[in-house]
C-alpha cells in the first residue's frame, strides 16, 4: 500500500530558501544582463528599453526555477501563483528600468554598472521578500485543492 502524498511539503528553513533563491537569481540576473548588453551592444537598442526587455526575459525563467526548486511549491495551483508573480514582476521591472535610468542619467554610471547595482538592490529589497511571502507562500493555496497541471 502506498501512502498518499502530503497536501503540501514541509516548510523549508529560511536560510536554505534564501541560498537557493540567491543561486536562482544569480542565474537569471546573468540571463538578464546578457540580454541587456546584447540588445544594446549588438542590436543598438536604447539601454532603457533593453533593461525592461531583459527583466522580462530573466523573470520568466525565474518563475519556473523558483516554483520547482527554490520554494518547492509546485504542488500549488499554477495560475494564481503566476498571476501574483506577474504583479510582483511588473513592479520589479519598473524598479529595474527606472533605477538603471536614474543611476546612468543622473549619477553618470555606465549602464552595466547601474544594472548590477540596481539588480542587487531590487533583489534584496523587493524580489526575494515578495516571492517568499506573497508569490510562493503556501498560505495562498486552498487546502485540499489539487495542484494545477
Note the pLDDT tens digit of each residue in 89-114. Answer: 999 999 999 999 999 999 999 999 99
Predicted local confidence at residue 62, as pLDDT: 92
32 touches 116 (CB < 8 A)? no
84 touches 134 (CB < 8 A)? yes
65 touches 28 (CB < 8 A)? yes
pTM over 0.75: yes
Ramachandran assignment for 13, one of left (phi > 0), alpha (psi -120 to 50 degrees), beta (any other)? beta
pLDDT in tens, the chain (149 residues): 444 444 444 455 677 899 999 999 999 999 999 999 999 999 999 999 999 999 999 998 999 899 999 998 888 888 889 999 999 999 999 999 999 999 999 999 999 999 999 999 999 999 999 999 999 988 876 555 544 43
Place of cell 522580462: 56
* Residue extents of the structural domains in the chain: 15-138
Looking at residue 44, what DSSP letter applies? -
What cell was used for 32? 538578464
Closest C-alpha to 58, from 26, 17, 20? 26
> Which is it for the CA torsion 92, 94, 97, 100, positive or negative?
negative
Amino acid at each position: 500500500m502506498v501512502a498518499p502524498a502530503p497536501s503540501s511539503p514541509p516548510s523549508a528553513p529560511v536560510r536554505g530558501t534564501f541560498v537557493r533563491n540567491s543561486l536562482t537569481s544569480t542565474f537569471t540576473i546573468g540571463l538578464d544582463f546578457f540580454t541587456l548588453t546584447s540588445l544594446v551592444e549588438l542590436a543598438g537598442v536604447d539601454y532603457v528599453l533593453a533593461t525592461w526587455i531583459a527583466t522580462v526575459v530573466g523573470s520568466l525563467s525565474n518563475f519556473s526555477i523558483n516554483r520547482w526548486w527554490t520554494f518547492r511549491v509546485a504542488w500549488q495551483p499554477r495560475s494564481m501563483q503566476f498571476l501574483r508573480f506577474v504583479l510582483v514582476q511588473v513592479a520589479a521591472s519598473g524598479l529595474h528600468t527606472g533605477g538603471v535610468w536614474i543611476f546612468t542619467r543622473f549619477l553618470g554610471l555606465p549602464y552595466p554598472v547601474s544594472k548590477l547595482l540596481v539588480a542587487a538592490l531590487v533583489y534584496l529589497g523587493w524580489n526575494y521578500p515578495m516571492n517568499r511571502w506573497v508569490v510562493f507562500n503556501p498560505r495562498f493555496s486552498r487546502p485540499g485543492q489539487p495542484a494545477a497541471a
